[in-house]
Structure 1
């Protein structure tokens, strides 16, 4: 009985570690590798995991049934991925027991955004202007691009809380970005509307998702790679459609 409880805790540790990593934007092969290494560190040499962007199936050889964890929300929080990786190394070193690891993982899962909302918006503010300059925009469009990018990211964050389908939030935020860029050019505060829009939408571009899709495909995880690629395409399509709607009317 004690051995069964011990095995159950190990399975819970592996599943929770994989769940946190997958929800935080980790690659599929990294999640599977981390879960396998944690199981081996606790003395389970034969474990099996199957990870997709929407779920994790994990089992070990024996009488214990396979367990499934559903992944309904995904974001990008590479700090959590790093923390879980560090935790897995401590487990491999024999520093943590299954109970201690499970406690720490539950604390990590409860943590919200690594950075306050105002820092995220400020980062979008600065990066939008920098992207404008990088794409050969003029300095007199720097401030309009900063403001437009900050408003666009704010719109995505707040609309995600209201709308279950995130692509609608990205579409509406892109419409707002297009309207603001047009307004700045109309009143004379901006000059090149295309450069302002390009700089402003860059904080919304799913760069990590595209990178992970390519890495999963290279690693042979075809289902996950294609799925993440489709999600990245839909996000890019929502952004482009929102901007196209503004240009269609103006």
Structure 2
């Protein structure tokens, strides 16, 4: 009886560890197959035979052991944070090579969940300022170099507004729409002040840091891998994000150009 009780406690501990690792990876935007593979590897390296898991974008189910101890965890926050995914994968690899114990793996995951690794805000804004004009050059065949600094400034400023709005609201897609409205209005006003600037070029470049490219790629990866539920959910989320961005730009154009 005591042996069974200890076995159940150990199974619960392994389950908690696997689910926490899977939840963190999903919150970081990892693909479904990678989440499941990491969870199953942790269970296998912990000496558990017959582990099974089912992963969606909003929840993870996992069952282990001959008595099928089962738990689930919800995933309410989803973002693109590859640094977070890499940290969890690194801990999983260290556990697989016996460099750390199960308790150390748990503590490492707990530390990551408390202080989620991310780049400073100022560095993210600088990154957006670099990405915006360079992708404008990539996507636009006809552009003027005078648009380059304008796209950099507006792209960085708009991304800073996006981060600020996202910090103060938990409503999905609202931050994207409000940022797109701000971006459209400031771009149109800037182009009215400097007539040589092209609105289309600047808007396309400035929107690129907000476009859910990685999410769309992961959605297709899940669909091609047979994870239809996760793939459709990710694709729907990406489409709604794109619709919020496009709708925000449309509102800005209607408000400013529609009244002229």
The residue that corresponds to 1:162 in the other structure is 168
**Equivalent position to 2:124, from 120, 127, 139:** 120
Q: Which residue of structure 2 aligns with residue 220 of structure 1?
A: 226
Secondary structure of the 2:67 match is coil
Is 1:23 the counterpart of 2:27? The answer is yes
SS at match of 1:66: strand
* Unmatched tracts of structure 1, length 5 or more: none
The alpha carbon displacement at 1:166 in A equals 2.5
Secondary structure, in 3 states, of the residue corresponding to 2:186? helix
Over 3 Å counting, the alpha-carbon distance change for 1:43 and 1:141 in structure 2 is same
1:113, distance to aligned residue in structure 2 (A): 4.3
SS for the counterpart of 1:57 is strand
TM-score by length of 1: 0.95
Structure 1 contact 184–190 (Cα < 8 Å) conserved: no
Task: Give the distance between the partners of 1:195 and 1:45, measured in 2 at CA.
Answer: 56
Greater shift, 71-80 or 194-203, is seen at 71-80
Q: How many residues align?
A: 250
- CA distance in structure 2 between the partners assigned to 1:187 and 1:5 by the alignment: 68
Please list, as runs of the form range in 1=range in 2, the aligned pairs for 1:111-150 lying within 5 A after superposition: 111-134=115-138, 135-136=140-141, 137-150=143-156
Query: Mean alpha-carbon deviation: is it higher for 160-169 or for 191-200?
Result: 160-169
Q: Deviations over 1:139-163 (max 9, x none)?
A: 1011211111112211221111222
Look up the SS of the partner of 2:209 in the other structure. helix
Consecutive aligned runs of 4 or more in structure 1 exceeding 6 Å deviation: none
Q: Partner of 1:152 in structure 2?
A: 158
Q: Is the 8 A contact 2:219 2:232 kept in 1?
A: yes
What corresponds to 1:107 in structure 2? 111
Whole-Å Cα distance in 2 between the matches of residues 214 and 91 of structure 1?
Answer: 31
Where does 1:2-151 land on structure 2 (aligned, <5 Å)? 2-63=6-67, 65-134=69-138, 135-136=140-141, 137-151=143-157
Secondary structure of 2:119's counterpart equals: coil
3-state SS of paired residue (1:127):
helix
User: Alpha-carbon deviations, 1:23-43, whole Å to 9, x = none?
Assistant: 001001110111011101111
Q: Deviations over 1:1-44 (max 9, x none)?
A: 33322222111111111011000010011101110111011111
Bigger mean CA deviation after superposition, 55-64 or 38-47: 55-64
- Partners of 1:123 and 1:70 in 2: how far apart? 32
RMSD: 1.4
- Gapped regions of structure 2 (runs ≥ 5): none
Residues 5 and 189 of structure 1, relative CA distance in 2, 3 Å threshold: farther
Output the CA distance in 2 between the equivalents of 1:5 and 1:95: 23
8 Å CA contact 1:48–1:60 kept in 2: the answer is yes
State whether residues 144 and 190 of structure 1, in contact with CA within 8 Å, keep that contact through their aligned partners in structure 2.
Answer: no
What is the TM-score with the length of structure 2 in the denominator? 0.92
Shift of 1:198: 0.2
State the shift of 1:165 in Å.
1.6
